[in-house]
Amino acid sequence: MARSIYFFGAGQADGDAQQKDLLGGKGAGLAEMTRLGIPVPPGFTVTTEVCNAYYAAGKVLPAGVEDEIKAAIGRLESLLDARFGSPEAPLLVSVRSGARASMPGMMDTILNLGMNDEIAAGLARRTGSERFALDAYRRFILTYSDIVLGVARDRFEEALGRARRDAAARLGVDATRLNSAELERKVPDSLLDPASLAALIQRQKEIVVGATGSPFPDDPRAQLGGAIRAVFDSWNNHRAQVYRKMHDIPEAWGTACNIQAMVFGNLGDDSGTGVAFTRDPSTGERRFYGEWLPNAQGEDVVAGVRTPHPLSRSGSGGGATSGGGATSDGADDASSLEARMPEAYAQLVAVQARLEQHFRDMQDLEFTIQRGELFLLQCRTGKRTGRAAVRIAVEMAREGLISQREAILRVDPGAIDQLLHPSIDEGAPKRLLARGLPASPGAATGQVVFSADEAERRAGQGKAVILVRSETSPEDIHGMKAARGVLTARGGMTSHAAVVARGMGKSCVAGCSAISVSQGQMAVTIYDDHGHATGSITVKAGDLITLDGGTGRVYLGAVPTVPAALSGEFAELMGWADAVRRLRVRSNADTPHDARTARNFGAEGIGLCRTEHMFFDEERIQAVREMILADGEAGRRRALAKLLPFQRGDFLGVFREMAGLPVTIRLLDPPLHEFLPQDEAQLEQLSQAVEISAKELRRKSQELAEYNPMLGHRGCRLAITSPEIYEMQARAILEAACEVAAAGIEVEPEIMIPLSMTRRELAITRALVERVAEQVFAEKGRRVDVRFGTMIELPRAAIMAGELAEEAEFFSFGTNDLTQTTLGISRDDAGRFLGAYVEAGIFAKDPFQSLDVPGVGALVELARDRGRAARPGLKLGICGEHGGDPSSIAFFERAGLDYVSCSPFRVPVARLAAAQAALTAESARGPRATD
Residues tagged active-site = 496, 879
What is the smallest separation between the CB atom of 659 and ligand PEP, expressed in angstroms? 24
What is the smallest separation between the CB atom of 721 and Mg ion, expressed in angstroms? 19
Give the per-residue contact string, 162-201, with Mg ion (x = CB under 5 A; - = no).
----------------------------------------
* Rounded Cα gap, residues 189 and 135, in angstroms: 8
459 Ramachandran zone, left/alpha/beta (phi>0; psi -120 to 50): alpha
* Cα dihedral: 647, 649, 651, 652 (round 10): 160
What is the smallest separation between the CB atom of 879 and ligand PEP, expressed in angstroms? 5
Which one of 550, 814, 831, 877 is in contact with ligand PEP (CB under 6 A)?
814
Residue 914's binding partner among Mg ion, ligand PEP, none (Cβ under 5 to 8 angstroms by kind) is none
Choices 62-70, 355-363, 812-820, 917-925 (CB under 6 A): range interacting with ligand PEP: 812-820
What is the smallest separation between the CB atom of 653 and ligand PEP, expressed in angstroms? 20
Cβ closest to ligand PEP, residue 454 vs residue 817:
817
Cβ closest to Mg ion, residue 813 vs residue 891:
813
Tell me phi and psi for residue 629, to 5 degrees.
Answer: -90, -10
What is the smallest separation between the CB atom of 332 and Mg ion, expressed in angstroms? 58
* Residues of this chain, 466-485, that bind ligand PEP according to CB under 6 A: none
Rounded to 5 degrees, what angle do the CA atoms 113, 115, 117 make? 160
Strand partners, 431: 556
Which one of 45, 109, 127, 816 is in contact with ligand PEP (CB under 6 A)?
816
Which parts of 36-116 fold into alpha helices (H)? 48-56, 65-80
- 814 near Mg ion, rule: CB under 5 A: yes
* Rounded Cα gap, residues 710 and 818, in angstroms: 12
What is the smallest separation between the CB atom of 631 and ligand PEP, expressed in angstroms? 29
Nearest CA-CA partner of 911 in 504, 574, 410, 570? 574
Contact (CB, 8 A) for 643 and 620: yes
- 789 near ligand PEP, rule: CB under 6 A: no
Strand ordering across the sheet containing 309-310: 309-310, 289-294, 272-277, 363-370, 373-381
Nearest CA-CA partner of 843 in 825, 829, 863, 862? 825
Cβ closest to ligand PEP, residue 815 vs residue 822:
815
- 625 near ligand PEP, rule: CB under 6 A: no
What is the smallest separation between the CB atom of 848 and Mg ion, expressed in angstroms? 12
* Rounded Cα gap, residues 123 and 120, in angstroms: 5
Alpha-carbon distances of 629 from 619, 634, 673, 687, rounded to whole Å: 17, 12, 10, 11
- 793 near ligand PEP, rule: CB under 6 A: yes
- 590 near Mg ion, rule: CB under 5 A: no
Cβ closest to ligand PEP, residue 274 vs residue 883:
883
Strand partners, 814: none
Choices 227-235, 270-278, 621-629, 813-821 (CB under 6 A): range interacting with ligand PEP: 813-821
Residue 880's binding partner among ligand PEP, Mg ion, none (Cβ under 5 to 8 angstroms by kind) is ligand PEP
What is the smallest separation between the CB atom of 500 and Mg ion, expressed in angstroms? 14
What is the smallest separation between the CB atom of 857 and ligand PEP, expressed in angstroms? 14
Q: How many residues bind Mg ion (CB under 5 A)?
A: 3
Strand partners, 375: 368
- 795 near Mg ion, rule: CB under 5 A: no
- 815 near ligand PEP, rule: CB under 6 A: yes
158: CB partners within 8 A, 6+ apart:
none
Contact (CB, 8 A) for 863 and 811: yes
| Widest distance between CA atoms in the chain | 104
What is the smallest separation between the CB atom of 755 and ligand PEP, expressed in angstroms? 8
Residue 888's binding partner among Mg ion, ligand PEP, none (Cβ under 5 to 8 angstroms by kind) is none
- 674 near Mg ion, rule: CB under 5 A: no
Give the per-residue contact string, 688-717, with ligand PEP (x = CB under 6 A; - = no).
------------------------------
* Residues of this chain, 764-793, that bind Mg ion according to CB under 5 A: 793
What is the smallest separation between the CB atom of 502 and ligand PEP, expressed in angstroms? 11
The type of residue at 658 is M
What does DSSP say about strands 606-610 and 662-666: parallel, antiparallel, or unpaired? parallel
- CA-based radius of gyration for the chain: 33
Residue 815's binding partner among Mg ion, ligand PEP, none (Cβ under 5 to 8 angstroms by kind) is ligand PEP
Cβ closest to ligand PEP, residue 572 vs residue 817:
817
Tell me phi and psi for residue 216, to 5 degrees.
Answer: -60, 135
Contact (CB, 8 A) for 780 and 742: yes
Nearest CA-CA partner of 440 in 849, 834, 843? 849
What is the smallest separation between the CB atom of 852 and ligand PEP, expressed in angstroms? 13
Strand partners, 260: 43, 94
Residue 298's binding partner among ligand PEP, Mg ion, none (Cβ under 5 to 8 angstroms by kind) is none
What does DSSP say about strands 109-113 and 606-610: parallel, antiparallel, or unpaired? unpaired
Choices 226-234, 340-348, 768-776, 815-823 (CB under 6 A): range interacting with ligand PEP: 815-823
* Rounded Cα gap, residues 142 and 125, in angstroms: 23
- Burial label for 421, CB within 10 Å (0-12, 13-18, 19+), is buried
What is the smallest separation between the CB atom of 497 and ligand PEP, expressed in angstroms? 13
Choices 306-314, 433-441, 576-584, 811-819 (CB under 6 A): range interacting with ligand PEP: 811-819
Alpha-carbon distances of 811 from 377, 484, 852, 876, 910, rounded to whole Å: 56, 35, 19, 5, 20
Which one of 454, 817, 885, 893 is in contact with Mg ion (CB under 5 A)?
817
Choices 347-355, 697-705, 814-822, 851-859 (CB under 6 A): range interacting with ligand PEP: 814-822
Which one of 610, 673, 731, 866 is in contact with ligand PEP (CB under 6 A)?
610
Contact (CB, 8 A) for 852 and 827: no
Residue 834's binding partner among Mg ion, ligand PEP, none (Cβ under 5 to 8 angstroms by kind) is none
Q: How many residues bind ligand PEP (CB under 6 A)?
A: 10
The residue number with the shortest CB distance to Mg ion is 817
- 817 near ligand PEP, rule: CB under 6 A: yes
Helix (H, G, I), strand (E, B) or coil at 849: coil
Residue 297's binding partner among Mg ion, ligand PEP, none (Cβ under 5 to 8 angstroms by kind) is none
Which one of 69, 419, 500, 608 is in contact with ligand PEP (CB under 6 A)?
608
* Residues of this chain, 646-685, that bind ligand PEP according to CB under 6 A: 669
- 850 near ligand PEP, rule: CB under 6 A: no
412: CB partners within 8 A, 6+ apart:
386, 389, 886
Residue 309's binding partner among Mg ion, ligand PEP, none (Cβ under 5 to 8 angstroms by kind) is none
The type of residue at 17 is A
Alpha-carbon distances of 155 from 40, 166, 582, rounded to whole Å: 35, 19, 61
Nearest CA-CA partner of 620 in 501, 755, 474? 474
DSSP class per residue in 332-360: HHHHSHHHH-HHHHHHHHHHHHHHHHHHT
Residue 879's binding partner among Mg ion, ligand PEP, none (Cβ under 5 to 8 angstroms by kind) is ligand PEP
Nearest CA-CA partner of 364 in 378, 350, 374, 354? 378
Cβ closest to ligand PEP, residue 807 vs residue 817:
817
- 879 near ligand PEP, rule: CB under 6 A: yes
Residues in the site for Mg ion, rule: CB under 5 A?
793, 814, 817
Residues in the site for ligand PEP, rule: CB under 6 A?
608, 610, 669, 793, 814-817, 879-880
